[in-house]
């Protein structure tokens, strides 16, 4: 009975925050982001799944700050440990020769902090597979050296050394994401990018490290927005970074975005963005974590603020913890039209991800009525 009630009425993050917010370990920026988020309209958009994940993440932040981000929180974004199987790996093996004998220098047996041996070796082998696939793309591989070890392997993030390169899954996957985004969208003019659900900021850092002409806005909720905010301050100390969560009118928001290099906003602030303000909007590995009502809201925002939208999703999954007394757990299967893509969007790009193989990337041109 208790389990049934928990499934029907999962704990809400706001109630949890009231119980712990006076703990000494919380950084003042995290407190500011969290307090203002809970009081904002953006709090209404949070899925039950993320109410529960946020509670778990704040437990880690309460006890360890960001020092154990890599082992405690990153798995809620895009760090895979034991949670992958044959179907996730398929595309990683497609371009590898299974009879090739590798000659490399690596601490492949490294036990990662706070991982057991099984989890460590599974993660290490995944990094090796990703690295070998990246080597098959020489032009992309050359960019590896431009990604900062302080951010991609700091804060207890798991990594191994391969041939003198510090390799984390976030590093390599971000480069593959970067390649797909620019296969879909390329422009010679100065660009304004918006990323919805940036997680740790791994992709934002990759793009900004490789492209110098981008004005970049991250739209997210705590603790992700706090984590990526702190990351950008470390990665780009010479860039102007704006925390714009208090900006609540169109003119001020647009002006501030253009005056900064990197910006941070809450989801409800998308309603203040001018028509076609952003050259490109991206949502990588996050739409499948939203309920269908929230997806529709985001699509309405995106329809107004850009002509180019790129996203990646699981081909089929469920919106966990969306079940209620009157509704089954929501299915999210792209091929069965569960995402309700607006009719004025034209799909011009669709490719499987190299990892996990059960996700694909899509790019849409948005035709205005």
Sign of torsion over alpha carbons 192, 195, 201, 203 = negative
Residue (of 354, 358, 361) closest to 173 by Cα position: 354
Neighbouring CB atoms inside 10 A of 235's CB total 22
**Bridge partners for 363 per DSSP:** 310, 349
pLDDT value of position 5: 38
pLDDT value of position 59: 84
Quote the radius of gyration of the chain (alpha carbons, Å). Answer: 20
**Where would I find the beta strands (DSSP E) of the chain?**
160-162, 165-167, 191-196, 214-219, 241-243, 262-265, 280-284, 308-314, 316-319, 330-333, 345-352, 359-366
How far, in Å, CA of 67 to CA of 234, rounded?
14
**Look-up: residue for tokens 């970049």?**
216
pLDDT tens string for the chain (369 positions)? 444 334 444 689 999 999 888 876 789 999 999 999 999 999 998 888 888 888 888 888 888 877 777 666 766 566 666 667 889 999 999 989 888 898 999 999 999 988 899 999 999 999 999 999 999 999 999 999 999 999 999 888 999 999 999 999 999 999 999 999 999 998 767 799 999 999 999 999 999 999 988 999 999 999 999 999 999 999 999 999 999 999 999 999 999 999 999 999 999 999 999 999 999 999 999 999 888 989 999 999 999 999 999 999 999 998 776 666 556 778 999 999 999 999 999 999 999 999 999 999 999 999 986
Tokens of 222: 């705590």
Q: Would you give the end-to-end CA distance of the chain in angstroms?
A: 51
Three-state DSSP at 263 gives strand
Three-state SS string over 216-275 comes to EEEECCCCHHHHHHHHHHHHCCCCCEEECCCCCCHHHHHHHHHHCCEEEECHHHHHHCCC
Q: What are phi and psi of 83, to 5 degrees?
A: -85, 55
Per-residue CA distances from 5 to 50, 191, 287, 324 (Å): 18, 48, 27, 10
Report the relative pairing of strands 316-319 and 241-243 from DSSP bridges.
unpaired
How far, in Å, CA of 301 to CA of 201, rounded?
22
pLDDT value of position 330: 85
How far, in Å, CA of 69 to CA of 75, rounded?
9
Is there a contact between 67 and 155 (Cβ–Cβ < 8 Å)? yes
Could you tell me what percentage of the chain is helix, strand and coil, using 3-state DSSP and rounding each to the nearest 5?
A: 45, 20, 35
**Look-up: residue for tokens 């997806």?**
295
How far, in Å, CA of 188 to CA of 177, rounded?
20
Q: What are phi and psi of 233, to 5 degrees?
A: -65, -35
Is there a contact between 232 and 207 (Cβ–Cβ < 8 Å)? no
Report the relative pairing of strands 214-219 and 191-196 from DSSP bridges.
parallel
**Look-up: residue for tokens 């990759």?**
206
Residue (of 140, 280, 304) closest to 213 by Cα position: 280
């Amino acid at each position: 009975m208790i389990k049934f009630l928990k499934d029907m009425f999962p704990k809400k993050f706001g109630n949890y925050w009231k119980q712990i917010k006076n703990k000494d370990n919380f950084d003042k920026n995290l407190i500011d982001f969290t307090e203002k988020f809970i009081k904002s309209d953006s709090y209404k958009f949070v899925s039950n799944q993320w109410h529960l994940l946020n509670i778990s993440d704040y437990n880690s932040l309460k006890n360890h700050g960001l020092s154990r981000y890599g082992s405690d929180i990153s798995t809620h974004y895009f760090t895979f440990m034991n949670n992958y199987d044959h179907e996730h790996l398929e595309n990683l093996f497609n371009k590898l020769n299974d009879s090739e004998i590798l000659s490399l220098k690596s601490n492949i047996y490294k036990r990662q902090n706070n991982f057991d041996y099984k989890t460590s070796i599974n993660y290490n082998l995944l990094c090796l597979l990703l690295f070998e696939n990246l080597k098959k793309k020489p032009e992309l591989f050359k960019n590896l050296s431009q990604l900062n070890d302080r951010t991609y392997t700091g804060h207890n993030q798991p990594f191994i050394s391969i041939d003198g390169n510090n390799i984390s899954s976030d590093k390599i996957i971000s480069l593959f994401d970067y390649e797909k985004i620019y296969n879909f969208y390329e422009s010679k003019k100065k660009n304004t990018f918006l990323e919805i659900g940036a997680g740790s900021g791994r992709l934002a850092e990759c793009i900004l490290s490789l492209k110098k002409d981008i004005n970049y806005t991250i739209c997210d909720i705590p603790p992700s927005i706090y984590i990526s905010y702190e990351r950008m301050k470390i990665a780009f100390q010479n860039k102007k970074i704006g925390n714009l969560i208090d900006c609540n009118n169109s003119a001020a928001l647009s002006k501030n975005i253009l005056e900064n290099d990197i910006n941070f906003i809450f989801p409800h602030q998308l309603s203040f963005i001018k028509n076609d303000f952003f050259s490109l909007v991206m949502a990588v590995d996050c739409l499948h974590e939203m309920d269908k009502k929230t997806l529709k809201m985001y699509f309405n925002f995106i329809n107004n603020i850009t002509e180019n939208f790129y996203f990646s999703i699981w081909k089929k999954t469920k919106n966990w913890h969306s079940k209620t007394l009157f509704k089954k757990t929501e299915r999210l299967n792209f091929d069965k039209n569960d995402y309700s893509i607006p009719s004025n969007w034209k799909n011009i790009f669709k490719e499987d991800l190299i990892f996990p193989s059960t996700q694909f990337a899509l790019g849409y041109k948005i035709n205005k009525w």
